Structures are given as structure tokens and as C-alpha cells.
Structure 1
Amino acid sequence: MLNRRGLLFGATGFSVLAPTIPSAVLASPMSQSGTASRRGAVDATTFGIRPGAFDDQSRAFSRMLQSASDTGTPVFLPPGIYVVSGLSLPRRVWLSGVPGATRIIYGGDKHMILADDADRIELSGIVFDGASRWIDEPLQGLLHFRRVRELVMESCDVVGSGRSGIALERVGGRIEHCTVSRAADAGIYSIDATRLNISGNRISDCANGGILVHRWQTGDDGTMVTGNRVERILARNGGTGQFGNGINAFRADNVMISNNSILDCAFSAVRANSSSNIQIVGNSATRSGETAIYAEFAFEGAVINANLVDRAANGISIVNFNEGGRLASCSGNVVRNLSAKGPYTPAPPGFGIGIAVEADCAATGNVVENASLYGMMIGWGEFMRNVVATGNVIRQAPTGIAVSVAQGVGSAVITDNLIEGASNGAIVGFEWTRSVTGDLSKDGVGGYTQLTVDRNRAS
């Protein structure tokens, strides 16, 4: 859970409203064609709403949206700047504007927009500007949607929120082709979703997280997070991974995270915590401060496939068998350029591990290059069971594959791997952090009958 903390960015005055939309823009062909393209839509100006006015127009907005909800009528908001505060949406809203030209700015009183117990909310083509102003507890977002059966947000911009950009509680529907930037917490923060789609969005410059898919208690969530660009995510609240992640699933089962481009996150590009049946597929993770892709703690079932990781402290970690983390497939990933440096002083064995797996896992067909510690780590102390590592290519890691041989470990099969440039050994047995064998690829497994090491090529 995100920490409900105060404003991280300095509040700004109404000077941000100064650049009003010129009258020529208000009467532009774009405005006219926008109205014409929404046949049957009510023009907001007929309710006395005035583009470019400096006074708060929340009451007029409320009357307009309630009337439109009662009659089932869409509303078109012409280009211009509108100031609102404390706006609560009725059960049905269809509000559209001209992308980039229709701008609603938060006036700073209590909250900006709240929808609670609604049937359908559809917003498109609108810029929502929080002006970095304070948002009252308990609301968590500039746009806060609670118990909305179907939310549709398309082609909207959400900027400068004093908390999260978009906060969702028990919401279904979709958020597509939107931009969320400069949020003081997360870009998009979802709790207890009902089959939500988050796709094709751009999330950037947020202080504590990019896209968060959380649940109060572990359960089926089903959110799909696909095709988003997530960039420059900080961890202003500190910690060792609670914040600073590009995409984060927590207690959320059956979530798919695919084909996202994720750059410059303080911690992980993708972090799944206690989330079973998670799919992390086809993502690009560049310059992650800690572990780029994580499946951790109490999960059962993870597919981590065809991801590209470049520059991180650790590449891919599928771990915490001690907490029940088990059952995974890790295949076809490319992991490269891993550093021993991270955002905090790590516990042993440290940073610089390409791929780490622990229990009931097949790691096949991966390529790891330039890992500063281990190319692959199989198990940690006594926590290793039923691991197959086959057909992997590992280049330029001091230890190619580190496999646990501590007392109580289960079985591992390590075959048909190609390992190049491992100065400390291609395949080495460890008891926790201490190496206790020679190179198993040359010397054989000896008395470690739980291991099968065969047909590996080391050079």
C-alpha cells in the first residue's frame, strides 16, 4: 500500500491559469468539428459554463452532469480552461473534450473529481491538471473512482496530482491512450479491480510508482497491463522496494503484464509480490535501479517469458520459496549489463545476478551477458527444489551458475548450457554465500546426488 503522505511537490498558485485559450481557438474549426462529431451531445456552454473563466465552476459542472445523467445525454466541453473543486460525479457520465485543448484545473478545495458507486463513467479528450495542490484524505487521486462498474478513459492527460494521478477502488473497464505525469505518488493506483484493462498509456515522472495493481487481500484480479510506456519513476518514500516500481502487482492473482516499455525506475521495472498466476511477457526493462523483474513472496504460478533487461542491479528474480514462492517458467529472456551497485546495501549474496530461481521452476533458453556476480543462481541455502536449467547461454559472469548444495535442498537438473568467460567456475556449488565445490561442469557432482549436471559447454 502506498503511504498516504502529504504533498511532495510545492503547491502552485492560480498563476498556472494565466495562459487562457484565445478566442480564435474557441471558434476554431477543430472546436466546431469536435461538436459536430458528437451528434446529440450537449455543449457545456449552454449550462453557463465559460471557457477561460478564473472563478470555480464546480456548481455549474454538477448541474450539467446531473442533468446529462438523468437524460442519458453526452456532454461536449469546448476548448478552454475550467476550474473545479470537490466535484462528485453522478451515476452516468459521458464527458468529452478536444485533446490537448480542453483543460480542467483543480482549484484546491478538498478534492478534484470523485465518482462513487457509478454505473458508467466515460471521459475522453480532456486534460486534468492538479496544479500540484493538496488533496484531502482519504482520497488518493486527482481523479478518484470508487465502485464504478465500467470506467472508460481515453486520450486524457492527468498532470501534477498532489497524490496519485488516477486512483481506482473496485473498478472495471479500461484506461487507454492516456498520459499521466508528475504525480506525487503513483501514476495509476488500482485496488480490488474487476477485470480492468490498462493499455497504451504513458506514465512518467511520478514520485513513488508507475502503475500499481493491488488488493487488500489476496484474490482474483484479472487486470491486463499491456503496451504502456513507463518512464522515470522515483521512490521518494524510500524503502527497499515498496516504492519506485514501474509496474507493481500486489496480492493480485491472474494479472497479465505484457509488451510494456519501462525505463529508469528507482527499483523494479515489473514487481509482482504475492501474486499468483502472473504473466510477465515481452516487456523491455532498461536502467532499473534494483531487480528489473521480480516474482517474490507467496505466489504460485509465474510465467516470465521473452523479456529484455538491460542495465539493472539484478535481472530476473523468482524467489522466496521460504515464503511459499514457487512454480514458474522463465524462458526466452535476454538479460545483460548487471551491476553490483543498487539503491541500498544488499543482504548477501549481493547484487549482480542475472537470473535467480528457487523452486519448481524451469529456466530454459535464456541469454545472460555481463553479470557482475552470477549469471544464474539456483536456490538460496536450503531453499531449492525441482529446478531445471537447460539450454541457457551465459557470458561474462565471474560465476556462470551458482547452485545451492546446502543441507536439505531438493533436486536440480543443469544440462546443455553454454557458459563463456566464467573466471570463478562455470557451475559451482554454494552453501549460502560460501562456494564449497570446484567447477561441477568439469569435476562432476561427486556426492551431491540431488544434482544432475551434464552436457554443458564451458570456455
Structure 2
Amino acid sequence: MVITQASSSPGTGWSAVANLQTAVNNARSSAKPLQLLPGLYLTSQILVDAASGGGNRLEMFAEQGTVTVRLSGAAPYLLDVNNVPDVVIRGINFDGNNQAITSSGIAGLIRFEGSSTTDFILSECSVTNSPVAGIYAASNARGRIADNRISNCDTGIFSIDCTVYIEDNGLSTLNNNGICVWTSSLGGNGSLVSGNTINWVNNAAGGTGQYGNGILVYRAGNVKVSANNIFNTKFSAIRLNAATNSHVVNNYCWNLQEAAIFIEAPGAGENLSGCIVSGNNIDTAGLGITVANSGLYGDGLADRCLVSNNIVNNITNNAIPYPDGSKPFTTGRGITVETNTIVTNNVITSTAGAAIGLGVNDAAKDIMASGNLINNCPMGIAYSANGSASSILVNSNIVRGYRNITNVSDPNYPISGAIVSYSFNGTLFQRDTNGGSPNTDYGNATQTSSGALTVGMNRANP
């Protein structure tokens, strides 16, 4: 079926049917694809469900860039696919027109929901001007969202309790988050977030990291986040909360206000295990890569992680706007880990703080830094010497261009040294002292053990 606008009433009339909903129903009932000819189609909500159109699938398409379907007024959504399999939508510009979306809870301008919504495809479309998520998948829908352009929405793509393949989309100018993959409870998910470009993500809703992220994965395990380009976010480029057995690989991240890649177990019972962070290129951020929380103080446990083969550059102390109006600064560390994690074969250059931090006070157990190349960082590898720390191994690293300071009164002493112990005072990570003397720098030590630390075969040149 082919439809066009009535020439006597551009944007409101139709040549053969009363409205776009009727056209969709007729196409489904006759089991034919629906082609929209060029034009602007002003419409209210469109529903594709098992009770309409003979229960048949829908294929709706247009020549890319020639058709805009615009929401005419407040509605629960612009398009909802509910428990209908094999729906294909291609080449259409969906414009929310900044109209109020009246659905309760998490809402979306374009929605795919229900366990019978299998193998849906949304491709080559544009989704714009939505006060809620541009695209929303929920309730065990499964499908592919690819090659779309999404802008001026609250969140670009929000998936909860779905397995989705989110690939090669361009997202920009988003109020709170770029792409969210969530599950209601901890468990395997298997979604793929790959090849997307995300630019300018704000944190209009405030928060201390819930918003302002390029990609946010929460409780969804076995998710692969790969080959994305993420720029200009108010918090993280990629944030994984309690997302076990996930991969964050080969992404490019630039100009992030907080941690570029943040891996954490945010609360008791929300653990994260088996995450691989590898091959990422990070440039300009408040922190580089952080693997946080050791099951202490009401947090979950993040462990069995590998941080390898990443390039981290230009990490600075940035002010982060918090909801209470305060603006605490990041601490400029390149890579920081706490428990049962390996940091290996990374290249770290130009940090404001430590290039690598091993442990945070008593959160320091079974961690290793090996084969890393560190250049022009004031503090090379800093480790926790807390009495509760255990099993920290530092070997075969090169540290070049660090601050070699032996006077604890020097204002630069707190951020100095090649391989030294440090601690967190609640605000800053600072090099420890030995009374009125500097603590031991193990930058060029032969194999040595001291407390929890075993160190050796490193090379340090100030």
C-alpha cells in the first residue's frame, strides 16, 4: 500500500484513508507493506498490537529523509508496537514536536514492548524532540535498533528487560543519558551496544552519576559495549553498574567531565564480576577508568576484572556539579581498581593525579599492575599501604617523567613519586609520609616485599 497527503490539506489529510492509524491497520489487514510518500504527516498516537490489523506484522517505510511523522498533541506515545513480531520500520523521521508524553513511569516516543515483539527492526529513521526517551524497549521485546539518528530527547534509547542490538546510531543533544540497557534484577541479558556515536549528554535531572552518561548499563549482564565514539558527557562515557560478565572494548571517549569508563557495584547485593575493559582510547576526562567498590560500607563487590591495552591521556581535575550545589573535583587518576583486578599493558600519559591507583585505603585486595607504560604523570603507580590491604603486585612497568620529590613540605609532594603508597582523606588521594620524611619510592627497586606490596623489575626515570 502507498499513501500520500491530500493536496488540499497538507499535513492533516490523506488521499485514501482518514488517518495514519487507519492506513497502518489496512496495510496489516491486507498483509502488505506500507510506503509513505514524501511529506509531513501530522498524527496522534499510532498503535500496532495483536488486536488490530488482523494481528499481522507491519512493514512501514519511506525514502530516507523524505517523510516526517509528527505528533500533533499530548499522547502516551507516537508509535507503540505491542506484542507483534517481525515489525520493520525504515527511513521515517519521527518528530515528537516536544508534546507531552502522558505514559506513567519510564516512557518513550517510539515503543517496542511485550515478549511477542520479537525480531523488530528500526533502521534509518530519525527520532527527535521528545521530552522522554526517543526509543523505548520493554517487557522482553527483542530486536535491532540500527543506523538511526536521535536528537533533542531526554534519553536517546532506553531498553529495560530486553535483548536489543543497538548499532551504528548517531545520538546528540540529550538531556540525561544516551543509551541505557537495564534489567529489573541481576541476570544475563546479552545485548550489544556497538558502533554508535554519542555527542553532548547533559545531566538535567541532577544526580551523582545516574544521569549524564553516554552509555549506562544497570544490572544487565553479558552486555558488550564496543567500538562506540562518545564525546562531551557531563559524567561518564560508559558506566556499568552491577553488570556482570560484560565487555567494554575498543571505544573512543573524549571530553568527559567525570570518569570516562566507570565500572562499579553500587549497593549491597548489586555486585559486578568478570568485566573486561580493553582496547579503549580515552582522551580528556576527569578520571580515566575506575573499577570501584569492594563490598565495604554498604557497597556491592566489583571483582574478577581485567583492565588491559587501553590508551589513557589528558586526565584533569574537573568540577562536577552535584544536586546540592556543590562542585567537588575529580582527582585526575588514570586507572584505579580495588579488588581482584589486573591492570596490564596500558599506556597512560598526562594525568593530574596518579597514573594508576591500586586500592583505596582498606579496599585493596588481590590487585596487580604489570607491563604498563606511564609517561609525564606526576605520580606513577600509587598503592594502598593500609593495614587491611593484601596481595598487591607491581612489576615490569615503565614510569617516565614523574615528580621526584624528597621534601614532604614541597606543595607538590602529595602528588609525586614513581611507585609509592598513598591514601584517600575523604577529598584527595595523596602520597603518604614517613614522619617528616618521604615514604619509600620503589620505582627502581629489585624484587621487594613490604606489607601487602610485592614489587620489582620496574623502570623509573623522573
TM-score (norm 2): 0.85
- State whether structure 2 residue 229 is matched by structure 1 residue 261: yes
Which whole-Å CA distance do the structure 2 matches of 1:51 and 1:260 have between them? Answer: 46
Write the letter of the residue equivalent to 1:109.
A
Partner of 1:337: 314
Which residues of 2 match residues 57-206 of structure 1 at below 5 A? 60-91=19-50, 92-110=57-75, 111-138=77-104, 140-147=107-114, 148-169=117-138, 170-183=140-153, 185-194=154-163, 196-206=164-174
- Indicate if the aligned counterparts of 2:285 and 2:315 stay in contact, CA closer than 8 A: yes
Cα separation, 1, equivalents of 2:385 and 2:451 = 10
- Is 1:55 the counterpart of 2:12 in the alignment? yes
Which residue of the partner structure matches residue 333 of structure 2? 353
Instruction: Output the CA distance in 2 between the equivalents of 1:325 and 1:393.
Output: 25
**How far off is 1:350 after superposition?**
4.4
Q: Structure 1 residues 98 and 451 mapped into 2: Cα distance closer, same or farther (>3 Å)?
A: same
Q: CA deviation at 1:220?
A: 1.3
Secondary structure of the structure 2 residue equivalent to 1:64? helix
CA 1:377/1:50 → structure 2, altered by over 3 Å: closer, same or farther? Answer: farther
Cα distance change of structure 1 residues 101 and 222 upon mapping to structure 2, 3 Å threshold: same
Q: Which amino acid in 2 is paired with 1:457?
A: R
Give 1:311's aligned residue. Answer: 284
CA 52–362 in structure 1, closer or farther in 2 if over 3 Å, else same: farther
Name the SS for the 1:219 alignment partner.
Answer: strand
> How many angstroms does 1:311 deviate by?
0.3
- For the pair 1:243 / 2:211, whether they are aligned, the reply is yes
Q: Alignment partner of 2:283: what SS?
A: strand
> In structure 2, the residue corresponding to 1:63 is in which secondary structure?
helix
Counterpart residue type for residue 425 of structure 1 = G
**Paired residue secondary structure (1:197):** strand
Counterpart in the other structure of 2:398: 418
Q: Flag structure 1 segments of 5+ consecutive residues without an equivalent.
A: 1-41
The answer on whether the counterparts of 1:290 and 1:343 sit within 8 Å (CA) in structure 2 is yes
Are 1:401 and 2:381 counterparts?
yes
- Quote the offset at 1:141 in angstroms: 1.1
Corresponding position of 1:427: 419
Match of 2:196 among 228, 231, 242: 228
Once the two structures are TM-superposed, the CA of residue 142 in structure 1 deviates from its matched residue by 1.0
Task: Tell me the CA shift for residue 256 of structure 1.
Answer: 0.2
1:72: Cα distance to partner? 2.2
Residue 413 (structure 2) aligns with: none
Measure how far apart 1:88 and its partner are.
Answer: 1.0
CA contact (8 A) 2:444 2:458 kept: no
Which residue is 1:296 aligned to? 264
Matched positions, count? 414
Q: Which residue of 1 aligns with 2:406?
A: none
Corresponding position of 2:453: 451
Identity of aligned residues (%): 29
Once residues 136 and 173 of structure 1 are traced to their aligned partners in structure 2, the CA distance between those partners, rounded to angstroms, is 25
- 1:218 has 2:186 as partner: yes
RMSD: 2.1
Is the deviation greater in 327-336 or in 81-90?
81-90
1:321 maps to which residue? 294
Greater Cα shift, 407-416 or 139-148: 139-148
Structure 1 residue 59: Cα displacement: 5.6
Deviates further, 442-451 or 209-218: 442-451
Structure 2 counterpart SS, 1:175: strand
1:335-365 CA distance string (max 9 Å, x none) = 0101112314799994200001111111111
Deviation at 1:431, TM superposition (A): 4.0
Report the Cα distance in structure 2 between the residues aligned to 1:202 and 1:409, rounded to whole angstroms: 44
How far apart are the structure 1 equivalents of 2:9 and 2:319?
48
Cα distance in 1 for partners of 2:383, 2:305 equals: 17
Alpha-carbon distance change, 202 to 432 in structure 1, aligned in 2, over 3 angstroms: same
Give ranges in structure 2 of 5+ residues lacking alignment: 51-56, 266-270, 404-415, 434-438
Distance 1:445 1:438 in 2: 14
Q: 1:50 to 1:63 in 2, by over 3 A?
A: farther
Query: Is the Cα contact below 8 Å between 1:52 and 1:82 reproduced in 2?
Result: no
Q: Does the residue aligned with 1:120 lie in a helix, a strand or coil? A: coil
Residue 53 of structure 1 and its aligned partner are, at CA, apart by 2.6
Q: CA deviation at 1:420?
A: 1.2
Question: Which residue identity does 1:336 align to in structure 2?
Answer: N
Cα gap change, 1:395/1:363 in structure 2, threshold over 3 Å: closer, same or farther? same
TM-score of the two chains, using structure 1 as the length reference:
0.86
How far has the Cα of 1:104 moved from its partner? 0.3
**Contact (CA 8 Å) 1:230, 1:263: kept in 2 or not?**
yes
**Partner Cα distance (2:375, 2:197) in 1:** 30
Return the offset for 1:67: 2.5
Q: 1:199 to 1:50 in 2, by over 3 A?
A: farther
- Structure with greater helix share of residues: 1
SS in 1 for 2:21: helix
Cα pair 1:51 1:78 within 8 Å, conserved: no
Deviation at 1:286?
Answer: 0.2
